[in-house]
Structure 1
Amino acid sequence: MSALYLAAVSDRPGAVRLLLAAGADPDRACGPESGDLPLCGASCGGHTEVVEALLAAGARPDLPEQFGFTALRWAVGLGHARTAGVLLAYGADPCRPGPEGEAPLLTAARRGSLATVRELLRHGAGARRHTVEKALGEARRLLETDLEQELRAGLHEMYGAEAAYEVVVRRDVVDGGETLTVELVRDGQSFAGRDQQTGHGAIATALEGELGVRAPYEELARRALRSGGPGLDNWRVAVEALAERGDEETRQAAAAWCASGDGARRAFGAEVAGALPLNPRSSIAGGA
């Protein structure tokens, strides 16, 4: 491994800048079969400052490493929205297919990172309607998926039956959304794990907005309540979408939720009601 690559993957921006100033080539591949690029290594770890230093020194944002992965594909696939944003700002192609032909927008929707989806859309990834439709379909599919069970199943397939280890599940708030992590622990030490962001409800709503599709009121409420809470992406984006409608039908739906026997639904209804304009707009046919 080159000194630049090791500094990049270790998130050492100062060392990276010194090496670049001394003449290190930001695009020099290293590792087995010379297949690893510093920009890809930094992007994989979400090391945004390192990524920016490499790009400023002339690293090519769309240069693929071994097996066809680009820096953007790594960042998008792992939900590193800030890193993806920097790559896109330096000219990474928001529509360049990944190694299996998948569009970055589809990969971001699958990952469940609303912030990454929005970065891609901001830089033109929504220009092709069929790409947005496919990403929306994936977000909707994952809304109906037991993500914890899916992560468990993948780990069990790789490491065998549960008898040899303990399964630990965590749900952490990261960048306004919830990240689900499933780890395998043996003798008090984690030896394997997988994680998944869970912003698929917010992503579906955002992509519907790109396509001019209005989800039913109850569907938006379901998305808000399924995986999230006040302030989290799934909840917040549903409130924003309903508030944007601002019509009498939305006001009536919010009032009904406020009268619900479920506390979370009441809280959601109250937040929607509080976000609505004082004077309702004319309703749009077929909006509910």
Structure 2
Amino acid sequence: MNNEPAGDAAGLVEALYEGESAVVRALRAGAPVEGRAGDGTTVLYLAAVEDLPGTVRLLLAAGADPDRPSGPDAADLPLCGAVCGGHTEVVEALLSAGARPDLREGFGFTALRWAAGLGHARIAELLLARGADPGLPGPEGEPPLVVAARRGSAGTVRALLRYGAPGLDGALEEAHRMLAVDVVAELRRALEALHGPGHPSVVRRTPVPGGVLVTVELLRDGRPFAGQDRETGHAAVATLLEEALGLVTPSEHLAVRALRGRDPGRDAWRESVRVLRLRGDEETFRAAAAWTASGDTLRRALGADVLARLGFRDGVRPFRVRTLPLLRELAGDAAHPVAAEAAVRALREHEAPASPS
């Protein structure tokens, strides 16, 4: 019995699922590196969507074209397939082999458009670093920044802003719109527009870095058959975009955003705190000081987080004298342990040796 992979395209496709050694043997047996499966899918595309970075590198080293279209209509690109799956290592391999990030596949999608729409922030950063156009619109004519704002991915928005992405006004409008809607209802409406009304559905909420991923799935015979998801980082996205546009958001608005998710670990909290600290003015001090006396434990903690480094710049701590008594009182408040812990952390910031920031 011969267990060696066949030296043809079919043999190479089969070898993909047997490991890198099998791929090497198939290539040595003469299998074409640009071989295709029966439906026209290239071997490289299959390896990319299956998240096989080692195999992708082997194929690229053997001469596979990282930009060769795949599929029955030659509408799919390996880079876009890897981006859709969130396969960061495969994306890195394809880009290193010369894949062009701005190529469009079927229906006009680019790799960056996929990354923005799916919230793959690390991949968006990779694409931008390799020259992807941050303003190249997708099939709907929207720039990636607007798509990322709708997605609610603060990490992707940060990456796009770092590379000068256009479309700030439209993106901010979209972030504000999303702050006012029910994400679950919005996703369900979108699914029903595609698949018709009347289907039962399930909702899943999954923690992701900085927020929550909300997924709505339609059921048929008790099984999911269609779904859409969206992140809940729209408050942080709005804050980032307002800052980029030079808009001064009222302190109370930022507090409401921070408290929206009731979780200091979320992007909305961190971005509100960061922006407020940078202001370093009397108005922000008074707002934060008032929050430390609130009946809401988390609002007290927010005040402490802001006061921790309010106005710190070049070794100067302008509100230290007035801040320390507030923080010391809050740190001893056993009735609000979360706020007390935040106050203790803030005291460490003020009591540490001053150094240029």
Do they superpose with TM above 0.5? yes
Letter in 1 for 2:116: V
Deviation at 1:156, TM superposition (A): 3.6
Correspondence for 1:279: 318
Asked if structure 2 preserves the Cα contact closer than 8 Å seen for 1:97 and 1:104, the reply is yes
Correspondence for 1:196: 230
Distance change in 2, residues 1:39/1:234 (3 Å): same
Correspondence for 1:153: 189
Paired with 2:288 and 2:204, the residues of 1 have a C-alpha distance of: 32
Pairing 1:173–2:207 present: yes
Q: What is the TM-score normalised by the length of structure 2? A: 0.72
Letter in 2 for 1:234: A
Pairing 1:268–2:302 present: yes
Correspondence for 2:154: 114
Correspondence for 1:58: 98
Ranked by relative contact order (alpha carbons within 8 Å, sequence separation 6 or more), the top structure is: 1
Paired with 1:89 and 1:195, the residues of 2 have a C-alpha distance of: 27
Q: Percent identity?
A: 63
Letter in 2 for 1:153: R
SS across alignment from 2:73: helix
Letter in 2 for 1:155: L
SS across alignment from 1:33: coil
Deviation at 1:186, TM superposition (A): 5.2
Pairing 1:41–2:77 present: no
Paired with 1:156 and 1:111, the residues of 2 have a C-alpha distance of: 19
Q: Deviations over 1:123-170 (max 9, x none)?
A: 1214xxxx21121111111111111221122234444455x53x3322
Letter in 2 for 1:145: V
User: Any gaps of 5 or more consecutive residues in structure 2?
Assistant: 1-40, 312-316, 321-357
Paired with 1:33 and 1:265, the residues of 2 have a C-alpha distance of: 56
Distance change in 2, residues 1:261/1:87 (3 Å): same
Letter in 2 for 1:101: G
Q: What is the TM-score normalised by the length of structure 1? A: 0.89
Q: Deviations over 1:30-75 (max 9, x none)?
A: 1131111101111111111111111111111111111111111111
Asked if structure 1 preserves the Cα contact closer than 8 Å seen for 2:210 and 2:233, the reply is no
Paired with 1:240 and 1:101, the residues of 2 have a C-alpha distance of: 33
Paired with 1:275 and 1:194, the residues of 2 have a C-alpha distance of: 40
Correspondence for 2:170: 134
Q: Deviations over 1:60-100 (max 9, x none)?
A: 11111111111111111111011111111111111111112
Kindly report the root-mean-square deviation, in angstroms, between the aligned alpha carbons of the 2 structures.
1.9
Paired with 1:106 and 1:160, the residues of 2 have a C-alpha distance of: 27
SS across alignment from 2:139: coil
How many aligned positions are there?
Answer: 275
Asked if structure 2 preserves the Cα contact closer than 8 Å seen for 1:26 and 1:57, the reply is yes
1:20 to 50, 53, 60: 60
Distance change in 2, residues 1:72/1:145 (3 Å): same
Q: Deviations over 1:231-266 (max 9, x none)?
A: 210011001111111222212111222222333323
2:107 to 30, 49, 67: 67
Correspondence for 1:286: none
1:234-249 alignment, distance < 5 Å: 234-249=268-283
1:233 to 264, 267, 277: 267
User: Any gaps of 5 or more consecutive residues in structure 1?
Assistant: 282-288
Deviation at 1:188, TM superposition (A): 5.6
Paired with 2:124 and 2:195, the residues of 1 have a C-alpha distance of: 32
Asked if structure 1 preserves the Cα contact closer than 8 Å seen for 2:262 and 2:298, the reply is no
